[in-house]
Each structure stands twice: as C-alpha cells, then as structure tokens.
Amino acid sequence: MTATASGATASGATASDTAPAAAHFRFFALEVLRTRRLGHSFLRVTFGGESLSGFRSGGYDQSLSLFLPPAHQEHTVLPSTDEDTWFAAWRAMPDEERPVMRSYTVREQRRTPGGADEVDIDFVLHGDASPASQWAGRAVTGRRIMAIGPAVAENKSVRFQPPAGTDALLMYADETALPAAAAILDRLPAGTRVAAWFEVPHADDRLALPTLADADITWIVRERGAGKERTERVLEALRAAELPVAEAPYAWLAGEAGTIRAVRRHVVQERSIDRRAVRFTGYWRLGASEEELLAEAYAGQAASEEPSSEL
C-alpha cells in the first residue's frame, strides 16, 4: 500500500457522516490469530482483538495504517495513542525503536459465530527487502501490533467511489493493490460488467477471486522486467483488449505510480474515458524506498496519493 501516512490521521471526514472528523479514525490493538499462504507472493494474516468491536470497515479498498515493531521486538510499543500527541511522540522515538508505519487494505472484516471480530490483511512477501515483508514472514499467533483504522464505515480511506449510473468498471492493479481489487470484486453486485488487468510477479500469484460480477480478468505475469519494460507490457495488454460498450464507465487503477500514470493516460486519451471517472492511486514508486516516501510526506513534499501528471 501507500507509503504515506494516509488514513493515519482523523482529518478529512466525509460530508455524509455527521460524526466529528476526529471520530472517524482511532487506534486499535490487533493480535495475530493465524496466517495462511495464498500464493508465491501473498500471505494472509488474520487479526483479532477486543478493540475490533469498534472497527467499522467501509469495504471495497478500505485502508488502515499498521504500526509494525522493529525486528528485535515481539510486539508494537507506542509512547502515545492520544489523538493530539501520538504523531509527535512516535516521530521522536529513536530510529531503532520506532515502529514502522505502513498502509494496507482491509481484505475482509467479519464477525465469527462466537461473536468475535476478525480482520484479514494480505501482505506481499519479498523476503527481508522491506520491514513489512520481514514482519509478515515471521508473524506468529499471539504477536500484537497497533493500527489506526476506521471507526465509521463512511470514511475517506475508501477510495472506490463509482458515480451513480456507472454501467461498466475498468480495473488495473499490481500485486500491491491486488488485495484491494479482490475486496472490491467481493462486494460488486451480480451483473456488474468488469474488465480487469491484474499484474503479479509469478504465475502462482494468480489467485481465485470470487465475485458475483460479470468479470473478465486478464492476468499479466511479470516474472521479469521493470521500469519502462514493465509499463509497456501492461499497456500492450490494455491496448489489445476490447472494452465493454458503456455510456458511463468508471476506472479504478492502483499500483506503482509511474505505471498508474501511463495507464491513466491510456484510458483517458486512447479510450476516451472522462478523467473525472478515473480513480488512480500510486501505492508505491519505482526507485524510491518506503522510508524515502515517508520522509517526503513528513516534509510536505510528497505528491498526491493520486499522482498528477501532464496528460
């Protein structure tokens, strides 16, 4: 997910909800209940905890911010969870002690027959190349972390917002956004026409994606290539496709920022889709570490979560 602090503050409440903005997001204590390998690159971690009774996922591509402990610590420890002081206190922690903050998608929230709440979060594994992958690969039952998540279902961290009258959906996601895309497909009503392109690193990352929608899914297996070569492979797949005939299509695009810009340019300029009906989110940026992106966000220099470019 994004390496910015999106969803990590309580600002920007939706106008449709009368609750104060500060009430839209709050801290939750999560405990690992179990893990399950989904494919070569994906691991599902199921969390529980008493505080999840107040967790209110808005579904679709709902995001939350996780605070993952340093490798030498078993559980997350934060100096403050107070709305007004937590950020400054967290930033003031020594680098080697500060929990890593990362944004992820709520793959599913459910209530068990016993009345307990559970939340699934799917992690992309790539060894110890990132703190989040390192933590997930070693997650065991009983490990505890902290998260900032939604306390109301209508919140700005649900970005999938097709306008009324949308009659077809276009989707592109790479592996970082595939959990969000899968959660969207889960919730689409029967008969919704979908054309989707999902890019994954390995052939066995092509996951079963249950949906009632009339979905035509094209898998782009990367295996090799990066940068321009990778983007061109995605564009070739899109250019070769026949899109559903629609009066009011809506496009949801998420993944590496450079590729997302190119895909957005394609759907707006070559497919003539109204740019106002295109939701695009850069979850990461090739050549920039998560820590570099976070540093930019802290300095007020980060680009929008929806990367703007000259189209």
Rounded Cα distance between 41 and 246, Å, is 35
Question: In this structure, are residues 181 and 196 in contact, taking their beta carbons and an 8 Å threshold?
Answer: yes
Give per-residue pLDDT as tens, 13-32: 333 333 445 578 999 999 99
Domain that holds residue 121: 21-150
The verdict on residue 99 lying in a domain is: yes
Structural domains counted in the chain = 2
Examine the fold and report which residue of 108, 124, 150 is the final residue of a domain before the chain moves on. Answer: 150
Distance of CA 67 to the CA centre of its chain: 15
Give per-residue pLDDT as tens, 231-263: 889 999 999 999 999 999 999 999 999 999 999
| CATH number of the CATH domain containing 189 | 3.40.50.80
Looking at the fold, whether 119 and 215 belong to one and the same domain comes out as: no
Looking at the fold, whether 52 and 172 belong to one and the same domain comes out as: no
The verdict on residue 306 lying in a domain is: no
What pLDDT, on the 0 to 100 scale, is given for residue 36?
97
Looking at the fold, whether 127 and 186 belong to one and the same domain comes out as: no
What pLDDT, on the 0 to 100 scale, is given for residue 89?
96
Looking at the fold, whether 52 and 103 belong to one and the same domain comes out as: yes
The verdict on residue 5 lying in a domain is: no
Looking at the fold, whether 210 and 293 belong to one and the same domain comes out as: yes
The verdict on residue 238 lying in a domain is: yes
Distance of CA 41 to the CA centre of its chain: 16
The verdict on residue 103 lying in a domain is: yes
Looking at the fold, whether 51 and 125 belong to one and the same domain comes out as: yes
Examine the fold and report which residue of 150, 181, 215 is the final residue of a domain before the chain moves on. Answer: 150
The verdict on residue 11 lying in a domain is: no
| CATH number of the CATH domain containing 111 | 2.40.30.10
Paired sense of beta strands 117-124 and 42-48, if any:
antiparallel
Of 49, 195, 67, residue with least CA distance to 132: 67
Residue found under tokens 């957005």? 264
- Which positions of the chain have pLDDT values less than 50? 1-20, 301-311
What pLDDT, on the 0 to 100 scale, is given for residue 260?
94
Looking at the fold, whether 200 and 230 belong to one and the same domain comes out as: yes
Of 179, 209, 201, residue with least CA distance to 43: 179
Examine the fold and report which residue of 150, 179, 214 is the final residue of a domain before the chain moves on. Answer: 150
Looking at the fold, whether 134 and 238 belong to one and the same domain comes out as: no
Report the alpha-carbon angle 62-63-66, nearest 5. Answer: 150
The verdict on residue 13 lying in a domain is: no
The encoded tokens of residue 130 equal 């990132």
Looking at the fold, whether 84 and 179 belong to one and the same domain comes out as: no
Looking at the fold, whether 49 and 133 belong to one and the same domain comes out as: yes
What pLDDT, on the 0 to 100 scale, is given for residue 225?
58
Looking at the fold, whether 58 and 145 belong to one and the same domain comes out as: yes
Residue found under tokens 């005939």? 245
